[in-house]
Structure 1
């Protein structure tokens, strides 16, 4: 019986078929070729170690071949399939996608952020998984696992929430631990607003943090290669930057709308040959500025994954 979708306006298309399918690896067609250095990469070693230690955790994603042959299109899991081939595995259980666009999986997949990785490791340890087994599965040494376990020690929950899906390095959290709670939150917001999570940037913020906002406020602040006078200037500049960002955030939406409307209007003006000729002959300085406005590229905002 075919169901009339018009009678069920809230129905949504399913992304996957109901059941996984066991497929011969030789019948799976990769949609891209792995680079020559893929097998020497850290990611390959991690996947290999994980499969050897605990088996395949995340099944590859395939789609039925539109040519109705007995082959399948590999949308996600190229490295996993390569590891299985090297291990002599003949078959693998796969998720079957109803969409054959590799774009969905290879371009929009969210990689595990450090905060999420920390929580995953903590949860595994709480369930009784030995640190040694986790280290082997992730192809890391024990000291790395222990650092990841204690990654968020001394960092307030608000700052963690802001950075939970961001690609922060361990250095970011090391810097945050030296700050008081409110400064941690301000720093996390600065990182997100600038979309910059580099060691250099977070260290610059730390250097520009007033002594009173540091955890050890009685201990003189020292940053290698930066004089006290330079640090004082950085504190002033950083304070002005924060004020500027706050004022921009208050009006960003409205300003962006105005700019979009203006760009559209000016674009229509420059689409008129008579207007272009008049401006070029009588007001070339305006003509140049108008062209610049029409060439502005909209800024893409980062949405949560």
Structure 2
């Protein structure tokens, strides 16, 4: 009996060529046109400031044009190329893709959250980068860099961990700083559960926080447009809401498992013709409900799904 030959592992194909290539900018053809208003955008100004101060961090991605030797198609980095042209550059170092599919690049943009930006600024400061240079690279004022660097002062680690990848503006952290650590965690959970990171929602959480859970219990809460009676009512309502959410979180896993088991059992039961005929004659309303449960594609409600 012949020994079976082991199948060789498939060769891994690299998405890009091994080395970056320095190319003339006029040899790079964009695959789409920029909007006329793009040069007035904040993003354009920030990238321009960054390139001017620290150079090009991420090289554009190009692909060789099979029909025109020496010509490259620009897959990713249209804004960077446009800025380099405006700054007077004639050449740029590019990453050469082996695939000319432009849709692949930046299909999902992962934006830098305020907490991640804070950590990036702290790391730069620790490495000796002057605050003025960081401000110029980010196209912001020096005072703004100092404020971003102090953003998590007074915020407990658990709360900052909950919000580390969330689009949570600095003003929300200013509000959280007025709360004790345990209340900061509860407030962060409320923000995440509601998927609402607005300053108005953070102020509502502050307004509904009992005085004893404030960092300075003796200092009265002052929320513009909210009376003391409204604050007291909000405290009671938000406390009930938090208890309800906690109760649901505690029982969700077990109830979801039970519903999944019931769904599987009913699907198996309805494959029995005798059972289906009996239900159709004796309990047609049960049959309708059982079929609806067995045919569910999701255990979430229609409103939630």
Give the TM-score normalised by the residue count of structure 2.
0.77
- Once residues 95 and 256 of structure 1 are traced to their aligned partners in structure 2, the CA distance between those partners, rounded to angstroms, is 48
Change in 2 beyond 3 A, CA 1:237/1:29 = farther
2:169 is the counterpart of 1:169? yes
Post-superposition Cα deviations, 1:166-203, rounded to whole Å, max 9, x if no partner, equal 11101111011111111111111211122111111111
1:65 CA displacement: 4.2
- Once residues 131 and 184 of structure 1 are traced to their aligned partners in structure 2, the CA distance between those partners, rounded to angstroms, is 29
Partner of 1:149: 149
Trace 1:278-293 onto structure 2 (pairs within 5 A). Answer: none
- Once residues 181 and 154 of structure 2 are traced to their aligned partners in structure 1, the CA distance between those partners, rounded to angstroms, is 9
Post-superposition Cα deviations, 1:202-241, rounded to whole Å, max 9, x if no partner, equal 1111111111111011222221111111111111221222
Change in 2 beyond 3 A, CA 1:129/1:224 = same
Which runs of 5 or more residues in structure 2 are unaligned?
1-5, 268-283
Partner of 2:8: 7
Change in 2 beyond 3 A, CA 1:226/1:96 = same
Partner of 1:136: 136
Aligned to 1:83, what secondary structure does the other structure show? helix
Indicate if the aligned counterparts of 1:76 and 1:106 stay in contact, CA closer than 8 A.
Answer: yes
Give the TM-score normalised by the residue count of structure 1.
0.77
Max radius of gyration: which structure?
2
Partner of 1:24: 24
Change in 2 beyond 3 A, CA 1:17/1:163 = farther
Partner of 2:96: 96
Change in 2 beyond 3 A, CA 1:64/1:234 = farther
2:117 is the counterpart of 1:117? yes
Indicate if the aligned counterparts of 1:169 and 1:198 stay in contact, CA closer than 8 A.
Answer: yes
Q: Across the two proteins, how many residue pairs are aligned to each other?
A: 278
Change in 2 beyond 3 A, CA 1:17/1:140 = same
Partner of 1:269: none
Aligned to 2:36, what secondary structure does the other structure show? coil
- Once residues 33 and 64 of structure 1 are traced to their aligned partners in structure 2, the CA distance between those partners, rounded to angstroms, is 19
Aligned to 1:209, what secondary structure does the other structure show? coil
Post-superposition Cα deviations, 1:65-99, rounded to whole Å, max 9, x if no partner, equal 46575433333222111101112212211223445
- Once residues 13 and 254 of structure 2 are traced to their aligned partners in structure 1, the CA distance between those partners, rounded to angstroms, is 35
- Once residues 82 and 76 of structure 1 are traced to their aligned partners in structure 2, the CA distance between those partners, rounded to angstroms, is 12
Which runs of 5 or more residues in structure 1 are unaligned?
267-281, 301-305
